[in-house]
Structure 1
């Protein structure tokens, strides 16, 4: 009994970590899913949509990091950070509310924890974007 509780807690913790790491890459994921859906709806098939979406998401990730590290304009950096932070914050909010809804009825605290979760996820996405830029500058 104790072992199953420990394994459940470990599994749920690992799942939460994976979900929040995925949420911090919301913009490239959004580009990948949108492109894959477009390719599939135009008759590209499942394999074509997966490959095309993956390539488009990878290009969006690389290009956005390159723009962020190459530009000195604070407006461009703020817009790019906002483009990364908003999808991540929304995904974090949805993850937080969904996980809290498992054991909590609708209340103020359900949405408060969701908002805190979304805020933390958005900040994490922006920090990852800034962190990659500072790491690239340190290596150069």
Structure 2
């Protein structure tokens, strides 16, 4: 009995860890599945559809990271971040809803837990996409700090 409860707890922890780590990839995964399905339905062989899907998902991920890191307009960065965070939040909603229903929670509490899960997973995806641009911003701050120090030294 104890071993069963322990393994359930470890399994649930692993699923939560996996959900948070994969949250930022919800949009590229959606793009990959959509493009792969479209390619398959239009005559591509299964291997070709998979190759096209992998390429489309990688392009969606890389373009989003590069756009978020290089664009300085807060409005556009907000839109790009939301574009990545909203599908992740939707995935988090359904994952937590499924886990809550499995545990036998009532309908109202299931929706409350699922909504909280959606907010947390969406925020995690937002922080992850924002961290792609964080390293560039931090290096700029370090350079300006060293430049100010060098100017004082003379």
Verify the 8 A CA contact 2:23 2:124 in the aligned structure 1: no
Secondary structure of the 2:28 match is: helix
TM-score, normalization by structure 1: 0.91
- Structure 2 counterpart of 1:21: 21
Q: Which residue of 2 aligns with 1:39?
A: 39
Q: TM-score, normalised by structure 2?
A: 0.83
Gap runs ≥5 in structure 2: 141-154
Shift in Å, 1:107: 2.1
User: What's the counterpart of residue 113 of structure 1?
Assistant: 113
Q: Structure 1 CA distance, aligned partners of 2:17 and 2:26?
A: 15
Q: Work out the CA distance in 1 between the residues paired with 2:85 and 2:19.
A: 15
Query: What is the aligned partner in structure 1 of residue 55 from structure 2?
Result: 55
Q: What SS does the aligned partner of 1:24 have?
A: helix
Shift of residue 106, structure 1, vs aligned partner: 4.0
Poorly superposed stretches of 4+, deviation over 4 Å:
none
Cα deviation, 1:44-84, whole Å, max 9, x if unaligned, reads 12211111111111111111110111111111101101101
Unaligned runs of 5+ in 1: none
- In the other structure, the counterpart of 2:93 is 93
Which structure has the greater CA radius of gyration? 2
* Aligned-residue CA RMSD (Å): 1.6
Residues matched between the structures, number: 140
Task: Measure how far apart 1:119 and its partner are.
Answer: 0.4
SS in 2 for 1:25: helix
CA contact (8 A) 2:32 2:57 kept: yes
